[in-house]
A = this chain, B = another copy of it.
Amino acid sequence: MDETALAQQVGQVMFANDRATRETVGMDLLSCEPGRASMRMRVQDKHLNGHQTCHGGFIFTLADSTFAFACNSHNHNAVAAACSIEFLKPAHLGDVLHSEGVEQVLSGRHGIYDVKVINQRGETVALFRGKSAQIPGMVVNP
């Protein structure tokens, strides 16, 4: 299987097993390619905090899941070691957020991934950077 098809399969299997991402938060996986992934989330009532804006935790979770798909896309199990996020604009009920994650460096067991979250007007809502660590095991048996 070539690496593009493998990444796609990894994405499908991980997404199917990831109840938090799929159901509790309610994201869609748009693509999973080698070192890249993109996702989407519509801001719903259940995402609102006390200021009646989208809780930053869900914007983080959208970016973090996108990072997870990108860093597992090579079919080596990988987990997040550290993440940082800059919140640039609030997200409101009904906004549709898109995230794009891209591998910046993969060196030995560690990788760095940048994720950008934009809204339906193309405005940048958040910038996220995640550091991954590979752990034993594969996502799918190729």
Number of interface residues of A (CB under 8 A): 55
When all copies of this chain in the complex are counted, the total is 4
Q: Shortest distance in angstroms between A86's beta carbon and chain B's nearest beta carbon?
A: 5
A50 touches B105 (CB 8 A): no
Residues of B near A81 (CB, < 8 A) are 86-87
Mostly helix, strand, loop or mixed at chain A's interface? mixed
A96, CB-defined interface residue at 8 Å: no
**Across chains A and B, which 5 residue pairs bring their CB atoms closest together, nearest first?**
A57-B61, A20-B55, A84-B84, A18-B50, A17-B50
User: Which residues of A line the B interface, CB within 8 A?
Assistant: 13-15, 17-21, 23-25, 45-52, 54-58, 60-62, 64-65, 68, 77, 79-90, 104-105, 107, 110, 112, 114, 116, 124, 127, 129, 131, 139
